[in-house]
Structure 1
Amino acid sequence: MINKQKLFLYTITIFLLTIYCNALNSNDIRHYLGTRTPYRIKYNKNDSKIKIPHCKGEKIWMLIRHGSRLPSAKDIVGAQTVLQNLKYEILLQHKMGKGLLNKEQLKNLEHWVNDMPVEEEKYLTLEGQDEMVLLAERTHKRFSSIIKQKYDNNSFQFRYTATQRTQQSARYFSIGLFDKKSAHDVVFEPALKVDNTLRFYKHCERWRKEVKKNPKTLAEQRRYGVSGEMNETLGYVSKYLGLDRVLDLEIVSLMYKICGYETSWHKHFVSPWCFAFDSKGVQRLEYYYDLKHYWNDGYGHELTARPACMMMKHLFSTMRNESRNATFLFAHSGTLLKLLAHLQLYKPKSHLRGDAIDEQRTWKTSNIDCFASNLAFVLYRCKDGVKLLTMHQERIIKLPMCETELCPLKHLEEYFYNSIHKCNYADMCNVS
């Protein structure tokens, strides 16, 4: 009887702890920072070796978004001017007894400084370096039979775009993948100024004209920006900070972005610019930016995902390459999101709209495109044929066009026949 009572109490305790932990996660602002979400709270903690019965792993192809980085020059300047002035205004208002920040929050805000050099805009941070090293170590542990400890130039490919953040991401990833001696021997392919594979959208003039520079692309985002939900959040943030005026969306958006950047850089520190956001408010800001990425980088326009066939060509070519067994490509948010759309992953049942937040959406950049996000394909030679395993954020996922997680390579080659064999970049991207 005593044992049964103990078991019952144990079960109840675990149940209540689960509810408590889920509640903590739902209120934890770090889970809703969009493309600036820290990878350390999103990756798969289980790094045990992946074993598939009757199959032998032979190749891995991995696309990796760069790690945590500094903001753009525009946001650095905004932090040093707009937010710096706002900081003093908030502190003054609280001295007059206004606002809801507590003593600890006020102290953190008072000590906040922004000394980021503008000339180092978008540079990889120390946390970004750690993200790459640790990701590589886990990848090697899971696929040690494919990724040999000793580097061989014929077996490995490392490639990055012409940016400091991807170049450094590749470098630190290689340090985590090999021992120090082998890491020094790694040969990185020269970065291309015009890279129609890793950054296929950057020089796609038709996409730039019809989507990126098209005012209609961000219509739903603008619509949500003036919605009742957003106006409620702007009012709440302003009141919480003790201001006599309602902050406009541009300033609150800057707060949200700096909140994300600074929180992603520090493992045990939340930016003071996060303090005024409650759970509801931060999720609304997250949705505001999800609308942008959905319509600009995802399913909003059919043309957006089409040039990602350049990545698909590279993937299937690599899988048929007899000598190379490990390929690591370092790119950007724009690359990853468009490839996810090309693969029909995280596609909502209908277009995301700006009338109200869609809390059940699958297209959520905090989950699918945080810093250091990654997408991997692993080739297995099995008793019943050659198959591909897909992993996103280090978790095994099932592609929509496949019946199981381990998908026959032949089936995928047939499904993506046009992507592999009829991917003409000039035809897709030249403006007629």
Structure 2
Amino acid sequence: MKVLFISLFLALSYYDDIHVTALFNPSDIRNHLSSRTPYRFRSNKNDTRIRYPDCKDSKIWMIIRHGTRLPNSKDITAAQSLIDLRDEILLQHTSGKGQLTKEQLKRLEDWTSDIDVDHGKYLTTEGQFEMIDLADRMQNRFPHAIKQKYSNKTFLFRYTGTQRAQQSARYFTTGLFEKKVAQEIIFPPVKEVDLVLRFYKHCDRWQKQVKKNPETYKESQLYIKSQEMNETLESLSERLGLTRVISFETANTLYKFCGYETSWDAQHKTSAWCAAFDEETILPFEYYHDLKKYWKDGYGYELSYQQACISIKHMFDSFRNDAGPRATFLFTHSGTILKILTYLGLYKPEFPLNSTYRDEDRKWRISDIDTFAANLAIVLYKCKEGDHVLALHQEDIIRLPMCSEDLCPLKTLEEHFKDSLNNCDFNEMCSLERGDVK
């Protein structure tokens, strides 16, 4: 245990330096890696207790995307093709083509891909540290709601039936309690159908009319064929020294591995494949993924985020139940986080994202709102003037759109969501017999 925390201390010391570098440099491509953006660039390192006059933190409901993971089997297989591309790049640079430096070429030359396909999507060591550190900071901020002493009556931990979510939960508890205590945590059995943690997986109407609907991907597919993307691929190819224009599919694999490897590297080195991009060519790839997520998991279709009423209802119920847990921690996935953020009205762009215009100032940016270990916490404060709630996203205090102050009366939220929660009939909402989605 002592060795673990010495390692963690050293890692966090490095976090601070690299976090500052990325956070205050918008041109740093590591800030634009979509859902694979390192959480260390977004987390709030200030863990001072959050106090309000005449109020005390009483309960917390927190939903957390798993920590940094390995690629899925499809991406692992695709990475094998990068070996031939790497050799082609090195060969072209010996002929004077390309713009990569000697150091970048050396890192490409040393690059290998030996990930076991059977370990696809597994939580990485970096993901473990993310969870430990996140738990420690949250406990420091809300010591009354998140006690240091464990009891299965005051804590509730739930995760989906995936290795990455299960391990995220277990390392999170290691950050809250002593290792011996963490090993004795009681986790409820994984539900085969868990509508709170992953509702969309069981919504037949959403699966058919949104996820598997070609119209959902119309704008992102049009963007692939846009002049901006064509020019980006040409610029990317020239930078790599290729005598041909790289395909979007191959370039997107480079983009993904730039994110994966930068996020999981224990020494926090940037992936060798990030050398393919500069501050201009990285942005269209970020936008492509923003487009996909906007139409599939965000504001594109009402059904996508209407389903999240199930999760928000769970939050309200936990606050109303005086005999229930003080601290609820739910470990889930990107799709759940984005739909809940959308249900709450957060990060809504001024107009629907489309293939013809890339708004550089858009609020909907996955690199900011849905990194590895992305999280949303709602904290209940008992105040002299009644119950209030505070929302934190990525550990930063945010003001919910329906509230006039950061610390918002619970009644304001209850009134705002009254209709959608009263009509939160999942079976009816997700029935294929209903009409087409809007």
Residue number in structure 2 paired with 1:4: none
User: Within 2, Cα distance between the matches of 1:426 and 1:412?
Assistant: 24
Shift of 1:421: 2.6
**Per-residue Cα deviation, 1:17-65 (whole angstroms, up to 9, x for no partner):** xxx9799612211100000000001111211111111101100000000
Partner of 1:194: 193
Aligned to 1:122: 121
Farther-moved stretch of structure 1 (311-320 vs 420-429): 420-429
Using a 3 Å threshold, how does the CA distance of structure 1 residues 348 and 38 change in structure 2: closer, same or farther? Answer: same
1:151: which partner in 2? 150
TM-score by length of 2: 0.92
Q: Quote the Cα distance in structure 2 between the aligned partners of 1:174 and 1:107.
A: 40
Backbone CA RMSD of aligned residues? 1.3
Alignment of 1:244-259 (within 5 A): 244-259=243-258
* 3-state DSSP of counterpart to 1:26: coil
1:58-137 to 2 correspondences below 5 Å:
58-80=58-80, 82-137=81-136
- For the pair 1:360 / 2:389, whether they are aligned, the reply is no
Query: In structure 2, how many angstroms separate the alpha carbons of the residues matched to 1:348 and 1:23?
Result: 22
Partners of 2:304 and 2:216 in 1: how far apart?
11
Q: CA deviation at 1:325?
A: 0.4
Could you tell me how far apart the structure 2 residues matched to 1:122 and 1:430 are? 31
Letter aligned with residue 388 of structure 2: K
TM value normalised by structure 1: 0.93
Q: How far 1:420 moved relative to its partner?
A: 2.8
Task: For 1:183-222, list aligned pairs within 5 A.
Answer: 183-222=182-221
The answer on 1:55 being equivalent to 2:52 is no
Report the counterpart of residue 234 of structure 2 in structure 1: 235
Structure-2 separation of matches of 1:417 and 1:189: 29
Structure 1 residue 339 and structure 2 residue 351: aligned? no
> 2:3 corresponds to which residue?
none
Contact 1:316 / 1:420 at 8 angstroms: preserved in 2?
A: no
Comparing 182-191 with 298-307, which one deviates more in the overlay?
182-191
Shift of 1:290: 0.2
Residue in 2 that maps onto 1:139 = 138
Corresponding residue of 1:10: none
Query: After the TM superposition, which residues 250-329 of structure 1 pair with which residues of structure 2 at under 5 Å, given as runs?
Result: 250-266=249-265, 267-323=267-323, 324-329=325-330
Q: How many residues align?
A: 412
Give the whole-Å Cα distance in 2 for the aligned partners of 1:127 and 1:284: 27
Deviating more after overlay: 188-197 vs 148-157: 188-197
For the 8 Å contact 2:195–2:311, the answer to whether it is kept is no
What is the CA–CA distance in structure 1 between the aligned matches of 2:131 and 2:312, rounded to whole Å? Answer: 24
Q: Is the 8 A contact 1:313 1:419 kept in 2?
A: no
Aligned counterparts of 2:301 and 2:422: Cα–Cα separation in 1: 22
The one-character-per-residue Cα deviations of 1:80-117 (angstroms, maximum 9, x if unpaired) are 1x211101111111122211111111110000000000
- Amino acid in structure 2 at the alignment position of 1:426: N
Counterpart for residue 16 of structure 2: none
| Structure 1 runs not aligned, ≥5 long | 1-19
1:134 to 1:22, Cα distance in 2 relative to 1, 3 A: closer
Q: Aligned in 2, Cα 1:361/1:273: closer, same or farther, shift over 3 Å?
A: same
CA contact (8 A) 2:22 2:28 kept: no
Q: List alignment gaps of at least 5 residues for structure 2.
A: 1-19, 434-438
Alignment of 1:398-409 (within 5 A): 398-409=399-410
2:389 equivalent to 1:388: yes
Counterpart secondary structure, 1:198: helix
C-alpha distance in structure 2 between counterparts of 1:106 and 1:22, whole Å? 23
* 2:289 aligned counterpart, secondary structure: helix
Counterpart contact for 2:346–2:401, Cα < 8 Å: yes
Contact 2:23 2:31 in 1 (8 A): no
Aligned position for 2:349: 348
The amino acid that maps onto 2:385 is D
Secondary structure in structure 2 of the residue aligned to 1:153: coil
Residue of structure 2 equivalent to 1:426: 427
**Matched position secondary structure for 2:389:** strand
Partner secondary structure for residue 201 of structure 2:
coil
Give the letter aligned to residue 400 of structure 1: P
SS at match of 2:351: coil
Task: Summarize the Cα distance change of 1:77–1:23 in structure 2 as closer, same or farther, 3 Å threshold.
Answer: closer
Deviation of 1:395 after TM superposition, in Å, equals 0.7
Amino-acid identity (%): 56
- Contact 1:229 1:356 (C-alpha < 8 Å) held by counterparts: no
What do residues 150-208 of structure 1 show as CA deviations (whole Å, max 9, x unaligned)? 10000100000010000000000000011222212211111122211110001101011
SS in 2 for 1:404: coil
Which position in structure 2 is the counterpart of 1:411?
412
Report if the CA contact (8 A) 2:22-2:31 is conserved.
Answer: no
Higher alpha-carbon deviation: 407-416 or 149-158: 407-416
In 2, the alpha carbon distance for the partners of 1:190 and 1:283 equals 42
Supply the distance in 2 between the matched residues of 1:421 and 1:313 (Cα, whole angstroms).
9
**1:268, CA displacement in angstroms?**
2.5
Q: CA deviation at 1:303?
A: 1.1
**2:5 maps to what in 1?**
none
Which letter does structure 2 place at the counterpart of 1:398?
Answer: R
2-side partners of 1:339 and 1:231: how far apart? 34
Q: Distance between the aligned counterparts of 2:334 and 2:42, measured in 1?
A: 16
> In the aligned structure 2, how far is the partner of 1:393 from the partner of 1:203?
27
8 Å CA contact 2:35–2:367 kept in 1: the answer is yes
- Residues 208 and 406 (structure 1 numbering): CA distance in 2 closer, same or farther, change over 3 Å? same
- Say if 1:336 and 1:369, in contact at 8 Å, map to a contact too: yes
Give SS of 1:113's match.
coil
